[in-house]
């Protein structure tokens, strides 16, 4: 399929109308053009990047039986919501299952070019997280364990080397050595689901941890107001936190404070969306526990009294950041594009610059709601209708 063409719309950062030409799947030029009536309220931005997607529209990426065709359907649905690059996220489970899950995901990359184009790597969130009540969230407690490099290498082998990010609790036995080994293998280490001390968090950062997984979540409901894992992660300039701004996981004032402390260049948005996105409200089973998906999109585990992932796409978080913080459209979208590209070392995309991959979204923004009109991935039109 031809991977060349052009689009005209208002630049999401400058507010000026531009014509973007692309050839061979790469942006060739970005030039200002006169304003015309058909460009009113129609914007162009880089495709969104999400480093934490657990599943989509009925397809669970932690299901070892998910067929390549089903994973491709999930990729198409993710793209339709404006995300052109993402990390399928695999969560805590028994060893043999995780091996099968990564083998299955690697097979999908091999068998389907479009899956390969949008999947920039895998994110392993657990099993190397805190076993303390509240801090492991909805992850199944019985499979939480201390980090093991030999075990992890079995996952990496099964994944054909595609695990790009690991979420780790720095307080776990052996975590510091594990973090160092990951960093030497160019694997991004993220701190999360932890009750680690300030000293442990700082040591993890000194050893090369660079992200914080959904800061403010993966945390007990009741914590010490002074000595808790949130403050040291906010205070550490080496750590870039991801946040879930779906309106459920964090209060507006939390989002506001996190953005003020870290600044618009050192924080990223994630969806943490599960395969329940798009499903009818009701009672379901997730990770062996009963969960409730409410009409307002909240996914709750009543027994553990915690959230069980999210049900809103990343574009919702963009609008919420604008509403909660007063960030401009450009600043809010950068939290889901440019900043993620830098934090996750996906250097060939994430901005509207010549030479970058032609991953583009054409959209409208009304009342802080991003409505996707067209999606271009690697220079190819992947539009499947408007998403509101």
Angle between helices 252-262 and 314-325 (to 10 degrees): 80
Domain range spanning residue 268? 47-350
**Residue at 55 is within a domain:** yes
pLDDT averaged per 10 residues, the chain (length 388)? 88 97 98 92 98 98 98 98 98 98 98 98 98 96 98 98 98 98 98 98 98 97 97 98 98 98 98 97 94 96 94 98 98 98 98 98 97 97 61
**Residue at 375 is within a domain:** no
Specify which residues 376 forms β-bridges with: 360, 381
**Residue at 304 is within a domain:** yes
Tokens 């689901």 — which residue? Answer: 193
Single out the residue of 315, 234, 327 nearest to residue 45, CA to CA. Answer: 315
**Residue at 19 is within a domain:** no
**Residue at 272 is within a domain:** yes
Q: What is the CATH number of the domain that holds 262?
A: 3.20.20.140
Query: In which order are the strands placed within the sheet that holds 380-381?
Result: 26-32, 17-23, 5-11, 43-46, 360-366, 369-377, 380-381
Q: Enter the tokens of residue 238.
A: 């080496």
The angle formed by the CA atoms of residues 246, 282 and 53, to the nearest 5 degrees, is: 40
The angle formed by the CA atoms of residues 142, 194 and 135, to the nearest 5 degrees, is: 55
**Residue at 378 is within a domain:** no
* CB contact set of 52 (below 8 Å; sequence gap of 6+): 87, 89, 123, 125, 213, 214, 242, 270, 271, 272
Q: Enter the tokens of residue 13.
A: 């950062």
For the chain, how many structural domains are there in total? Answer: 1
Alpha helices in 7-65 (DSSP H): none
**Residue at 137 is within a domain:** yes
Residue 84 phi, psi (nearest 5):
-100, -15
Instruction: State the DSSP H helix or E strand holding residue 360, giving kind and residue range, or none if neither.
Output: strand 360-366
**Residue at 331 is within a domain:** yes
Residue 387 has a pLDDT of 53
């Amino acid at each position: 399929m031809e991977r060349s063409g052009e689009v005209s719309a208002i630049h999401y950062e400058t507010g000026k109308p531009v014509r973007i030409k692309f050839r061979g799947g790469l942006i060739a030029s970005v030039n200002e053009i006169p304003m015309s009536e058909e460009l009113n309220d129609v914007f162009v931005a880089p495709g969104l990047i999400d480093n934490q997607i657990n599943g989509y529209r009925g397809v669970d990426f932690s299901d070892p039986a998910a067929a390549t065709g089903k994973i491709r359907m999930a990729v198409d649905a993710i793209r339709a919501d404006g995300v052109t690059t993402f990390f399928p996220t695999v969560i805590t489970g028994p060893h043999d299952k995780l091996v099968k899950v990564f083998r299955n995901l690697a097979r999908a990359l091999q068998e389907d070019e479009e899956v390969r184009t949008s999947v920039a790597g895998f994110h392993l969130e657990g099993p190397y997280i805190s076993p303390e009540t509240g801090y492991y969230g909805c992850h199944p407690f019985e499979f939480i364990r201390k980090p093991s490099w030999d075990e992890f290498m079995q996952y990496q082998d099964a994944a054909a080397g595609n695990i790009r990010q690991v979420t780790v609790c720095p307080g776990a036995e052996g975590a510091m050595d594990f973090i160092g080994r990951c960093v030497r293998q160019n694997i991004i280490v993220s701190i999360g689901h932890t009750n680690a001390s300030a000293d442990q968090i700082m040591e993890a950062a000194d050893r090369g941890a660079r992200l914080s997984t959904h800061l403010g979540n993966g945390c007990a409901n009741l914590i010490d107001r002074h000595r808790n894992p949130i403050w040291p992660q906010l205070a550490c300039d080496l750590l870039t936190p991801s946040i879930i701004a779906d309106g459920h996981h964090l209060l507006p004032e939390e989002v506001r404070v996190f953005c003020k402390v870290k600044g618009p260049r050192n924080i990223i948005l994630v969806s943490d969306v599960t395969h329940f996105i798009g499903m009818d409200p009701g009672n379901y089973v997730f990770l062996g526990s009963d969960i409730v998906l409410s009409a307002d999109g909240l996914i709750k585990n009543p027994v553990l009294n915690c959230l069980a992932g999210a049900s809103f796409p990343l574009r919702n978080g963009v609008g919420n950041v604008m509403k909660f913080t007063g960030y401009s459209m450009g600043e809010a979208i950068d939290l889901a594009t440019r900043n993620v590209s830098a934090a996750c070392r996906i250097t060939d995309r994430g901005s509207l610059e010549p030479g970058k991959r032609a991953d583009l979204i054409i959209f409208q923004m009304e009342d802080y709601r991003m409505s996707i009109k067209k999606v271009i991935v690697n220079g190819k039109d992947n539009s499947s209708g408007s998403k509101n």
